[in-house]
A = this chain, B = another copy of it.
């Protein structure tokens, strides 16, 4: 129904003079405050976990309109409050900016939501564990059970392929599409000399995967530094372990969320 309404809107826009076509997209409708709160908390949890710092972002697909997504304005994630959450269409146009600035790299989110209907939450990080793998010929691989979602492989997005010598940012739809295409149907892609993008069907799972990508990377570096051969998770083991992670990841989210809530200004 939203898609029909959206189609009608596009039709109507087609009848308007060109300058009016730049009108902001309509909203996907109000969002359950508890869900907005989870998005706010995800920003803070990821900061507490050192997965993001002054940079990096997390978004969620609009709960009732698959053609919209929600993400904080351009501010350090640790400072995000509910009023900072902006709504975008999948071309990453803001619905109602109200003077709030958007992230230059919001196209990471919009284009992945377009390409991956299963994805409901996305994290973009510069997390310290994964960056070394983004610039190395050594691939990031699942080394322990909580990193099983890194199977079957973690591709590296080389922005030189679509953009040549660039400013390194995924700052337009074409680059977002290119990144989404490298990601394919996987859960995590590294971005060379930049960071990672992590996707999931829920916010808690996206946060879980962003954190344990970083942990797994550090464990893999240390295991390799010992000098002997390393036993990685087998693809079949990883596949079976995904069910376990589905079942248990809420335990970590509950812990992280509570800690973040306690630190929020009342």
Contacts and interface: CB of A to CB of B under 8 A. Distances in A.
A132 B223 contact: yes
A63 B131 CA distance: 38
Interface centre among A148, A166, A222 (most CB of B within 10 A): A222
Given A132-B222, A144-B126, A233-B193, A252 B168 contact: no
A158 to B, nearest CB: 8
A122 to B, nearest CB: 19
A228 B144 contact: no
A48 interface: no
Contact of A55 (B146, B222, B234): B146
Contacts of A137: 228-229
Interface centre among A195, A225, A227 (most CB of B within 10 A): A225
A227 B138 contact: yes
A140 to B, nearest CB: 10
A78 interface: yes
B55 A252 contact: yes
Interface centre among A136, A143, A252 (most CB of B within 10 A): A136
A69 to B, nearest CB: 20
A241 B104 CA distance: 13
Given A168-B237, A255-B78, A221 B225 contact: yes
Interface string A241-256: 1011001100111111
A157 to B, nearest CB: 12
A61 interface: no
A165 B233 CA distance: 10
A193 B143 contact: yes
A180 to B, nearest CB: 20
Interface of A: 53-55, 74-76, 78-79, 104, 126, 128, 131-138, 143-146, 148, 160, 165-169, 192-195, 215, 218-219, 221-234, 236-237, 240-241, 243-244, 247-248, 251-256, 258
Which 6 residue pairs spanning A and B have beta carbons closest together? Answer: A54-B252, A137-B228, A76-B255, A132-B223, A145-B168, A165-B236
Given A136-B229, A138-B228, A168-B233, 13 more contacts: A54-B251, A74-B248, A131-B143, A132-B223, A133-B226, A136-B231, A137-B228, A138-B226, A145-B193, A167-B237, A167-B244, A193-B231, A221-B226
